[in-house]
A and B are shown apart, each in its own frame.
Chain A
Amino acid sequence: MSPMSNLAHHHTAYHPRWYRRRMSVWWWLKDRAYMKFVVRELTSVFVAYFAVLFLWQIRAVTQGPDAYAQFMGRLKTPLFLTANIVAFLFVLYHTITWFNLTPTAMVVRVRGKRVPDTIVAGSNYVAWLIVSVIVAWIFTRGI
C-alpha cells in the first residue's frame, strides 16, 4: 500500500484534493524525444573538452618546441585517439542538431515572404563547407 493512501480519509466535502505527480529523475529516459534532447545537451561537455584541449595546446606552444612535441606525442596515444574520436562524433551531432534548429530561432524574410526553413538551415551547411575548405587550403599549403 502506498504511503499516500491514508490521505484518502482526509478528503472533506467541497474541498479540492488535487493529485500532484512528482517528476522522476529519470524522466528523460521515458521518451525518445526527451532522450535526444538530453544527448544534445550533453554534447556541450565534449565541446568544452575540445576547448580545454585547445587551451592546453596553446600552453604547450608557449612552453617551447619540446613541450609541444610532448603534447603532440600524448595525442597519439590510444587513449587520446579514442577520446578524440568519440568527442568529435558528439560535436558533429551537436553541430548538426543546432544547424537544423536555426530556422526555428531565426525567421528570415525577403520582400515580406518567409525564407523556407531548408534554405536557412542549408546556408549553415554551406558556410561550414566554405570555412572547412579554407581551413583545409591553409593547412595543406602549410605542409
Chain B
Amino acid sequence: MPPTIALDVIRYRPEQDAEPAFQTYEVPFRDDWVVLDALNYIKDRLDGSLSFRWSCRMGVCGSCGMMVNGKPKLTCAAFLSDYLPGPVRVEPLNYFPIMRDLIVDITDFMRKLTKVKPWIIRDQVWPLEEGEYRQTPEQLDTYKQFSQCINCMLCYAACPIVGLEPEFVGPAAIALAQRYNLDSRDEAAGERLKILSDHAGIWGCTFVGECTQVCPKHVDPAGAIQQFKLTAALDALKSFLVPWGTR
C-alpha cells in the first residue's frame, strides 16, 4: 500500500484563470478513502480555495458527481484503491459549463426537468377522505426503477448528444417523464409525449447507451427513452391507420 497518492484536479477561478488547468496534490493513501475524502483532505489541510459540491457521502443526495479518470462518478463512491497507483484525474462533469473548479452549472437541467411535467396529473383528483389510490406491487414495479433517479447528472456527462445538442432534454429528465407515464395514478402520458416527441426530446437520442452504464442507481435512462420511442412510434402508426380512433 503506497503512503500517498496524487490527484490531478481541475482548477478554474474565473477571476484569475483564463481557462481550466490541472493542479496536482499529494494526499495520504487510505484503503477506505474515496475520492471525495481526498478532496476534503485537500480543502481542509492543503488548499482551502479548492471548490466542489458534496453533502450526504452516502450516494443519495447527488451532489458530488465529477469526472474521475475520464468517467462520470459519484466521488463519494469512487474508492482511491481502484485508481492505484495514481495519479487520479478529477475534473468537473463533462458537457456542463464550469462555474468554478469542480462545480458546474446545472440550471439548464432544472429548466428541462420542469418542462417534462414530473408530477402526477389526472382528471379526477380523489378527496383525501377516499384514502389512497390503489396501486398493486406489480403496478409499482413498472415505474419503480425510473423513480430511483437522484439527479446526479452523471448520465448527462456521459451522453455525447448532450454535448452536441444543447437543447436535448437529456436522459434523467426523460427517464423521470417515463416514471410518471408508467405510474398507474397518472393520466398525462399523452401530454408528455407531445412535449418530448421532437429532436430535443426522445428523437434526439441515438442510443449511445452510456447513460445507463454510468447510472449509480441503475435507473436505465436509455431504456426509458427507447421505451418512450416505441410508444411514440406505435401511437403514430395507430393514428395513421385509424385516424378517427385515437385521442
Chain A directly contacts chain B within the complex, with at least one CB pair under 8 Å: yes
The answer to whether residues A104 and B163 also contact, given A5-B18, A7-B18, A37-B209 and a CB cut-off of 8 A, is no
For chain B, residues 3 to 43, give those with C-beta under 8 angstroms from any C-beta of chain A: 12, 14-20
For chain B, residues 92 to 135, give those with C-beta under 8 angstroms from any C-beta of chain A: 94-95, 97-99, 105
Question: Which of B48-56, B219-227, B235-243 sits within the interface?
Answer: B219-227
Q: How many residues belonging to A are interface residues under a CB distance threshold of 8 Å?
A: 31
8 Å CB contact of B208 from A17, A37, A106, A112: A37
8 Å CB contact of A27 from B97, B138, B160, B220: B160
| Contact between chains at B14 and A21 (CB < 8 Å) | no
For chain A, residues 1 to 22, give those with C-beta under 8 angstroms from any C-beta of chain B: 2, 4-8, 11, 16-21
The answer to whether residues A28 and B160 also contact, given A104-B222, A104-B226 and a CB cut-off of 8 A, is yes
A34 and B160 alpha carbons, distance in the complex (Å)? 8
Residues of B near A28 (CB, < 8 A) are 160
Q: How many residues belonging to B are interface residues under a CB distance threshold of 8 Å?
A: 36
B residues whose Cβ falls under 8 Å from a Cβ of A: 12, 14-20, 70, 94-95, 97-99, 105, 136, 138, 141-142, 160, 163-164, 206-210, 212-213, 220, 222-223, 226-227, 229-230
A-B residue pairs in contact (CB < 8 Å), sample of 27 = A2-B18, A4-B18, A5-B18, A7-B18, A11-B14, A11-B15, A16-B99, A18-B14, A18-B98, A19-B19, A21-B98, A23-B160, A23-B163, A28-B160, A30-B70, A33-B210, A34-B160, A34-B210, A37-B208, A41-B206, A101-B209, A104-B209, A104-B220, A104-B222, A106-B230, A107-B227, A112-B141
* Further contacts, 11 of them, CB under 8 A, given A5-B19, A18-B105, A21-B95: A6-B18, A8-B16, A8-B17, A23-B95, A28-B160, A33-B209, A37-B209, A104-B220, A105-B223, A107-B142, A109-B142
